[in-house]
């Protein structure tokens, strides 16, 4: 019924417009003007609402505030170690379990070369021990033999010296004998000369012949004595080759015996070191704890094959010292505020830490080291090797109006310039700046900012926005 009425009204309107087109046109124009008037009346309220919506709350950073640079520090726990396999093998036995107390040097795991439990390193240890024991058993006897040979060499040299002394004593006796024979020889020659002078008619020919024979024999005896004397003098002299040879033989013999003695001692020490080396190699098959503590984890099972570097167990000492180690650029190390604590975030808690060491030279490439001691109450919240965020306070001398440091996230950059937004009379204003060196989360501003400038940190702000600073 209602639909029929609407259709009839629509039909009458269309018919009326068709019959009176000018009147219909005027009606349409009137409707449009009415809509424009209504829009004009509503425009001031909409504009006022828009003005209220464009006022934005912002966070600021004031020039002169002490900035903080955030870095990740590596956690190093002294007293918590992971024992790894030093050689390949098969896990034969596990002596301890998680939670068990372990003493220093106590064996934790046994490795074998095969599934029967054979261990070549143990055999090598036995061989080295046997060889070393043999060296020990024979060492004293060999030392005594060397000493006896040294005594023989010394005695031989002393005997040669005494022989030369005796020979020198006999030289005087030989000289006396030669002199006596020479005196007799001279007398006989005088007698021979007299006989020859008085031998008229050959009356003394027989005596002359006999005397000449005696003189010849006596001369031969003198010659033999003189030859023996020269030989004795040569052999008895301390500066002649026989004495030199005897002394050299003694020296060579003693030095050879010294070398032999040192060789014996060297063999003894080498044998001892071979036993030690064998023990070291054998110990690689029987990992033990380096200190007293608690077994935190056993990472293998019996029968498992392991290779060098395979994790076997984790041990925690009774006393653990945890250190946070930072590696920072030189600029941060130099700008660190001395005497002011740093802030570490541990399990969503802010903990103040004071560095106990700041390196004066680069320790890792071009990076400098800063170290912190973690308080005991937070050590269980950290694991060895993890990274901890630490906020470093930078010195105020580096945040003055001369070369201020500002948060790097507040900087806008284009192809040809850098700028920041500053708060001025509740408006955001652009300020062109010249950037310098970066210090962690902060950057140095060499030009463009002054003391008291308030840098807007929000990234949803543009120039000329109306702002309200968060208190």
Contact 197, 213 (CB under 8 A): no
Contact 69, 442 (CB under 8 A): yes
The residue with greater pLDDT, 448 or 279, is 279
Q: pLDDT tens digits for 186-195?
A: 777 777 777 7
Q: How far is CA 218 from CA 210, 227, 240, 402, in A?
A: 12, 14, 31, 126
Contacts of 424 (CB under 8 A, 6+ apart): none
* Distance from C-alpha of 429 to C-alpha of 104, rounded to nearest angstrom: 68
Per-residue pLDDT, averaged over 409-433, amounts to 88
pLDDT of residue 275: 93
Does 201 score more than 70 pLDDT? no
Contact 121, 278 (CB under 8 A): yes
Position 461 confidence tier, pLDDT thresholds 50, 70, 90: confident
Q: pLDDT tens digits for 15-42?
A: 665 666 666 667 777 777 777 777 666 6
Contact 253, 149 (CB under 8 A): yes
Nearest to 233 by CA among 167, 136, 188: 167
Per-residue pLDDT, averaged over 278-297, amounts to 92
Nearest to 213 by CA among 190, 185, 180, 181: 185
Does 469 score more than 60 pLDDT? yes
Q: pLDDT tens digits for 82-131?
A: 999 999 999 999 999 999 999 999 999 999 999 988 889 899 999 999 99
Does 4 score more than 60 pLDDT? no
pLDDT of residue 127: 94
* Distance from C-alpha of 151 to C-alpha of 157, rounded to nearest angstrom: 10
Q: pLDDT tens digits for 210-224?
A: 777 887 787 887 788
pLDDT of residue 203: 62
Per-residue pLDDT, averaged over 375-387, amounts to 86
Q: How far is CA 235 from CA 250, 327, 410, in A?
A: 17, 83, 107
* Distance from C-alpha of 341 to C-alpha of 361, rounded to nearest angstrom: 22
Does 304 score more than 50 pLDDT? yes
Per-residue pLDDT, averaged over 149-176, amounts to 78
pLDDT of residue 15: 67
Does 48 score more than 50 pLDDT? no
| φ/ψ of residue 64, rounded to 5 | 110, -20
The two tokens of residue 33 are: 């003007």
pLDDT of residue 1: 47
Position 44 confidence tier, pLDDT thresholds 50, 70, 90: low
pLDDT of residue 20: 66
Position 312 confidence tier, pLDDT thresholds 50, 70, 90: very high
Per-residue pLDDT, averaged over 282-309, amounts to 93
Q: How far is CA 255 from CA 155, 252, 258, in A?
A: 15, 5, 5
pLDDT of residue 17: 59
Nearest to 330 by CA among 373, 365, 371, 306: 365
Reduce the secondary structure of the chain to three states and give it as a string: CHHHHHHHHHHHHHHHHHHCHHHHHHHHHHHHHHHHHHHHHHHHHHHHHHHHHCCEEECEEECCCCCEEEEEEEEEEEEEEEEECCCCEEEEEECCCCCCEECCCCECEEEECCCCCCCHHHHHHHHHHHHHHHHHHHHHHHHHHHHHHHHHHHHHHHHHHHHHHHHHHHHHHHHHHHHHHHHHHHHHHHHHHHHHHHCHHHCCHHHHHHHHHHHHHHHHHHHHHHHHHHHHHHHHCCCCHHHHHHHHHHHHHHHHHHHHHHHHHHHHHHHHHHHHHHHHHHHCCCCECCCCEEEEEECCCCCCEECCCCEEEEEEEEEEEEEEEEEECHHHHHHECCCCCEEEEECCEEEEECCCEECCCCCECCEEEEEEECCHHHHHHCCCCCEEEEEEEECHHHCCCCCCEEEHHHCEECCCCEEEEEEECCEEEEEEEEEEEEECCEEEEEECCCCCCEEECCCCCCCCCEEEECC
Contact 397, 441 (CB under 8 A): no
| Cα 21 from chain centroid (whole Å) | 102
């Amino acid at each position: 019924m209602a639909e029929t009425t609407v259709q009839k009204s629509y039909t009458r309107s269309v018919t009326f417009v068709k019959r009176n087109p000018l009147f219909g046109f005027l009606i349409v124009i009137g409707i449009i003007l009415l809509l424009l008037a209504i829009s004009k009346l509503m425009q001031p309220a909409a504009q006022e609402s828009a003005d209220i919506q464009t006022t934005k709350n912002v966070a600021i950073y004031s020039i002169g505030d002490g900035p903080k640079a955030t870095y990740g520090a590596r956690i190093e726990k002294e007293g918590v170690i992971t024992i790894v396999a030093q050689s390949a093998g098969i896990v034969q036995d596990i002596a301890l379990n998680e939670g068990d107390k372990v003493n220093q040097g106590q064996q934790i795991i046994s490795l074998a070369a095969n599934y029967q439990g054979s261990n070549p390193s143990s055999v090598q240890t036995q061989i080295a021990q046997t060889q070393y024991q043999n060296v020990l058993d024979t060492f004293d006897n060999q030392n005594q033999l060397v000493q006896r040979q040294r005594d023989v060499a010394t005695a031989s040299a002393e005997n040669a010296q005494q022989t030369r002394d005796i020979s020198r004593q006999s030289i005087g006796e030989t000289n006396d004998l030669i002199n006596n024979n020479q005196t007799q020889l001279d007398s006989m020659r005088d007698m021979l000369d007299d006989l020859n002078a008085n031998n008229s008619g050959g009356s003394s020919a027989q005596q002359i012949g006999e005397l000449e024979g005696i003189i010849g024999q006596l001369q031969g005896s003198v010659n033999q004595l003189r030859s023996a004397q020269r030989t004795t003098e040569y052999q008895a002299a301390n500066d002649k080759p026989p004495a030199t040879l005897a002394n050299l033989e003694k020296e060579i013999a003693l030095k050879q015996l010294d070398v032999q003695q040192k060789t014996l001692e060297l063999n003894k020490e080498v044998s001892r070191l071979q036993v030690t080396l064998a023990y070291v190699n054998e110990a690689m098959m029987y990992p033990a704890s380096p200190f007293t503590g608690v077994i935190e984890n056993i990472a293998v099972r019996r029968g498992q094959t392991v290779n060098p570097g395979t994790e076997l167990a984790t041990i925690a000492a009774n006393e653990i010292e945890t250190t946070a180690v930072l590696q920072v650029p030189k600029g941060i190390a130099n700008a660190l505020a001395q005497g002011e604590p740093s802030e570490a975030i541990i399990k969503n808690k802010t903990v103040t830490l004071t560095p106990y060491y700041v390196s004066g030279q680069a320790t890792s490439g071009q990076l400098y080291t800063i170290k912190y001691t973690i308080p005991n109450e937070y050590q269980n919240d950290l694991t060895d090797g993890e990274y901890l965020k630490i906020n470093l306070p930078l010195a105020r001398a580096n945040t003055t109006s001369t070369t201020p440091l500002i948060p790097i996230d507040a900087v806008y950059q284009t192809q040809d310039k850098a700028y920041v937004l500053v708060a001025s009379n509740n408006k955001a204003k652009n300020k062109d700046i010249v950037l310098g060196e970066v210090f962690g989360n902060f950057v140095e501003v060499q030009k463009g900012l002054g003391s008291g400038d308030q840098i807007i940190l929000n990234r949803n702000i543009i120039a000329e926005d109306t702002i309200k600073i968060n208190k």
